[in-house]
Amino acid sequence: MNSLCFCSAAFGSWGIVRLGTLVPECKMLFVCPYSCGRHNSIGAIQHGYKDRVSYLFIDEKDVALGTMYDDIPKTVHTLVSSEPKPKVVLIYFSCVLYMSGFDWDAIIEEISQEYPEIQFRACMMNPVASETSDPPVPAMIRTLCSLWNKDAGSAKTVNLLGPYSKLSPECELYTVLQACGAQDLLHFTNAQTYDDYALMGSSMLNLVIRPEGLLAAKAWSDTMNYCFLPVSYNLAEVSGQYETIFEALGAKTDLAPYYDAVTTAIEKARAMIGDLPIAVCSSATCRPFGLAKALVEYGFTVSDVFSDGCAFYDAEAKTWLAERGGVAFHEIHDPSLVEQVGHIGTAQIAIGFMAGYYSGAPHVVNLMLDEGHFGFYGIIHLMEMLRDAAATQSSLEACIERYGLII
Amino acid sequence: MSSYFATLPSFATDYSGFISVMHGLGGLMIVHDPSGCLGNYTNTDEPRWYHEPQPVFSSTLKEIEAVIGDTEIFMQKALPEVIRRKPPFVCIFGTPVSALTGYDIDSLAQGLEQRSGATCFGIETDGFAFYDDGIKRALLFAYEKLMEPKTEQVTGRVNVLGMTPLDYHLQEKDRITAYLEANGWQLGAFLGMGNSLECIHTARNAELNLVMSASALPLARLMQSNDGIPFVAGPPFGAGGIAEIGPVPKDLLWEANTSLIACAGKNVLIIGEQLCSCALRQAIQHHDNRAQVTVASFFALDSAYAQPQDVHLRDEEALLGLLNNGLFDTVIGDPLFEQLCTYGQTFVARPHPAVSSRLHWKEPVSWVG
């Protein structure tokens, strides 16, 4: 960013520490100053996993004297001695240790030798590196995937990378993959045990549907192909994405049966919503401009897009919208927005928390991170969400509180 | 020295405490951080943030900037905003990264002041200390930089010092105001719960300071020494209120407080902000003079208000030892402490936002009445 950053009440998502809960039989230790542990420890209590994460709070003297080299192994001993015994221990370090030349590899090596039956990984919660080639969230997912077993053989399964929760069981992707010979679509959350989780290393393809999973897929690309197909709500793009999947799997199936359902869902939503202006944001989807463009093409009125920059795969849609006109773009961290909260644009329906918070739209589609969405189902479900939102007025504040955003 | 917290969360830290006191004064607050640090304040330490966002921004400090110490990157971000807003003052806050890399926050502020013409201050917070330290420093900062010299004492005017949403529910601002007004006092500066800068300017003309947290005692003592303003410490807990101010009117009496005073055990442990806990102790012992009450706090514990049995807690292990030493029938504190009680003590939950944050900060709890 080239300006100061406004951190609105709608900002946040899962946070780095919560991502560690995606690994079964895993405990987490966070080594950091008090301040770095604040929001994620409150989030851990809210989301019910505080029993899996402990904190070793350090001060400047600890950093200067390197007392963590003694304290971390002692704390790990406490963690691995308590029930339930973990199969994985993730040790998180915040910016201070990341920047101080702290040798986390030496610590991991030392404790790995002491407890060879346990997998240890160093994880970084280092927003100071967010504009490097190793930003915290993608790097964290790469670390989670490093726990997959490379020697688990080969299975006819496909891994879903990027989203933090699995797709809705109603999504046609499951059926399409099966028709193409894949046995299953695996997500972190499918596994009940670490052994099951590690089997994701035997899959034949990584299907990356949000950018958070891209570094992990690249790290595995020597032994596992990947397709990067960020969630789209554009019917033509969705069809194109399936063609890419067919090519990767060397098989294809008929998609025609899905088109009618999508068209019907769009028509029903459009009939109900009419010309009510809609705002879209990047907390709801990884392609806010693409979603806005799709909605415009479906005949909806889009007034505003609230985004945190523009990803390379969304740039074309942004250009299309800019050339067409009529849609205002807002950078969500723009400091000048602070005095305008709740009054930006003309939207009556907001897709996502950011759009709802900034626009003050009375109707909010409670969608975060494209959760559950891909393919034709994603479009159909979004249309249902739009209809539901238009029919009710919800408290955005309550939605945000329930979601439990973590920075 | 490191501290292991297996069960409890981290508590609010220094820059959150400082910025909380500055809320509503119109200053521009810049946290020199990669943006996660500011997220602590906005996401977990400021219950007013959803409805009353303020000009509190992150400098989005990045790795290369921190490593090479390039202050020009900061200037390019901050300068346009300062020029555009023309704030009455600007505070730049240090965070763990800037502390570790030896950023000279004062010098950064001086540079910004020279180039913008705005009054800028560097605040050497670091995220290693708890919020009470930030509140204390913010109040002393307000005295040194924002208050004007005393001109004349205004009879009947009282300042409320050190009352922030990190210790008190938001409704407490109205309750303490009503209490003071019911006893004929005129409200002066209200540092911590939102106030106009003009009220802060004239704070040294007040007749009395009401100190609502131990973090405000250093300021109260300074104002007593320099301006001759006496102070009373602690919230008006119980019907008697504060002798120097007056009793709590009946309509402000808080039913939950009354029942708490009456039902507290004979051996009571109160864990929380020191002056709130001491006010509760006084009320319990006034009701039952056999009651033995110990106050424990992770935060400021001023020796002038502590009794010999009171304990400053260093970490979770210290609290575990205290809770389970078999001495206490009743424990009063933030709901998150209850899970550390192991032998069936009566636990009375009094949410403390600096501890449990948004998990409980909407639950009404009062230290007034």
Final residue of a structural domain among B80, B114, B129:
B129
pLDDT at A71: 97
Mutation choice for B interface testing from A35, A45, A75, A83 by most B CBs within 10 A: A35
Q: Which helix (H) or strand (E) holds B237?
A: none
Please classify residue A345 by burial: count the beta carbons closer than 10 Å to its beta carbon, then call 0-12 exposed, 13-18 middle and 19+ buried. Answer: buried
| Residues B10, B127: Cα–Cα separation, whole Å | 11
Mean pLDDT, chain B, whole residue set = 96
The pLDDT value recorded for residue B29 is 98
Helix ranges (H only) for chain B are 14-22, 36-40, 63-68, 71-85, 96-100, 105-116, 131-141, 172-182, 197-201, 217-227, 255-263, 274-287, 316-323, 353-356
Using 50, 70 and 90 to split pLDDT, how confident is the model at A1? confident
A256-273 helix and A375-391 helix, angle to the nearest 10 degrees: 20
State mean pLDDT over A373-396.
96
Dihedral sign (CA A17, A19, A23, A24): positive
Are residues B34 and B7 in contact, defined by beta-carbon separation less than 8 angstroms? no
Structure confidence at residue B118 (pLDDT): 98
**Dihedral, CA of residue B175, residue B177, residue B181 and residue B183, to nearest 10:** 60
Using one digit for the tens of pLDDT, what is the confidence trace for B303-353? 999 999 999 999 999 999 999 999 999 999 999 999 999 888 999 999 999
Residue B101 sits at the chain A interface (C-beta within 8 Å): yes
Comparing CB atoms, the residue among B45, B53, B315 nearest residue A338 is B53
Query: Is B24 an 8 Å CB contact of chain A?
Result: no
Distance from CA of B61 to the nearest CA of A (A): 6
pLDDT in tens, B30-56: 999 998 999 999 999 999 999 999 999
Predicted pLDDT at B69: 86
Best CA proximity match to A156, nearest among A251, A243, A228: A251
pLDDT of residue A2: 87
Summarize pLDDT for A89-137 with one digit per residue, the tens.
Answer: 999 999 999 999 999 999 999 999 999 999 999 999 999 999 999 999 9
Residue range A235-256: mean pLDDT, rounded: 97
* Chain A residues whose beta carbon lies within 8 Å of the beta carbon of residue B130: 34
Q: Return d(Cα B63, Cα B60) in angstroms, integer.
A: 10
Q: Are residues B258 and B355 in the same domain?
A: yes
Average pLDDT over residues A369-379: 98
What is the number of other CB atoms lying within 10 angstroms of the CB of residue B362?
12
Q: What is the CA radius of gyration of chain B?
A: 21
Pairing of strands B56-58, A349-351: unpaired
A4 interaction partners in chain B (CB closer than 8 Å): 30, 57-60, 77-78, 81
Q: How far apart are CA B369 and CA B354, in angstroms?
A: 22
- Among residues B114, B129, B144, the one where a domain terminates is B129
What pLDDT is recorded for position A98?
Answer: 95
Residue given tokens 């300062």 in the structure block: B82
Here the tokens at position A44 are 């851990």
Residue A366 confidence (pLDDT) above 80 = yes
ipTM of the complex: 0.97
Tens of pLDDT, residues A29-88:
999 999 999 999 999 999 999 999 999 999 999 999 999 999 999 999 999 999 999 999
**CATH number, position B98:** 3.40.50.1980
Confidence of residue B195 (pLDDT cuts 50, 70, 90): confident
Of B165, B200, B233, the domain-final residue: B233
CATH 3.40.50.1980 domain extents, chain A? 16-145, 157-249
- What 3-state DSSP class applies to A224? coil
**Cα–Cα distance between A406 and A136 in angstroms, integer?**
14
pLDDT in the model for residue A394? 84
Task: In whole angstroms, give the CA distance from residue B44 to residue B46.
Answer: 6
Tell me what pLDDT residue B1 has.
85
C-alpha to C-alpha distance for B267 and B256, rounded to whole angstroms: 20
Indicate if the alpha-carbon torsion angle A317, A318, A324, A326 is positive or negative: positive
pLDDT in tens, B249-265: 999 999 999 999 999 88
Interface size between A and B, measured as CB pairs under 8 A: 195
Q: pLDDT class for A299, splitting at 50, 70, 90? A: very high
In a domain, residue B141? The reply is: no
Domain assignment of residue B305, given as a range: 253-359
Residue B112: is its pLDDT beyond 80? yes
User: Does residue B145 sit within a domain?
Assistant: no
Smallest Cα–Cα separation from A124: which of A145, A139, A107?
A139
Whether CATH 3.90.230.10 fits A157-249: no
- With contact defined as beta carbons under 8 Å apart, do B312 and B297 qualify? yes
Model confidence at B77, pLDDT cuts 50, 70, 90, reads very high
User: Measured between CB atoms, does B339 come within 8 Å of chain A?
Assistant: no
Residue B124 sits in the same domain as residue B160? no
As a whole number, mean pLDDT of residues A245-250 equals 98
Non-local (6+) Cβ contacts of B255 within 8 A are none
Same domain, B125 and B48: yes
pTM for the model stands at: 0.97
The answer to whether the CB atoms of B101 and A397 lie below 8 A apart is no
pLDDT at A228 over 80: yes
Beta strand pairing status for A53-57 and B3-5?
antiparallel
Determine the number of helices (DSSP H) and then strands (DSSP E) in chain B.
14, 14
> pLDDT for B1-27, tens place per residue?
899 999 999 999 999 999 999 999 999
CB pair distance less than 8 Å for A33 and B1 = no
State whether A407 and B78 contact (CB < 8 Å): no
Domain count of the fold of chain B: 3
Task: Give pLDDT, residue A406.
Answer: 92
Asked if the bond preceding A73 is cis, omega within 30° of 0, the reply is no
Selected from 3.40.50, 2.40.10, 1.10.10, 3.30.160, the CATH number assigned to the domain covering A260-403 reads 3.40.50
Residues B325 and B226 in one domain: no
Q: Hunting for tokens 């969405």 — which residue is that? A: A373
CATH number of A16-145: 3.40.50.1980
Give the pLDDT of residue B35: 86
Distance CA A370, CA A351 (A): 11
Nearest to B222 by CA among B137, B307, B295, B306: B137
More confident residue, A251 or B67: A251
Does B137 fall in a domain? no
d(CA B127, CA A243): 51
Res A141: pLDDT: 98
Q: Of B81, B97, B356, which to mutate for an interface test with A (greatest number of A Cβ within 10 Å)?
A: B97
CB hemisphere CA count around A206 (13 angstroms): 29
**Which of A35, A61, A67 comes nearest B96 by C-beta?**
A35
Question: Which residue on chain A is closest to B94 by alpha carbon?
Answer: A35
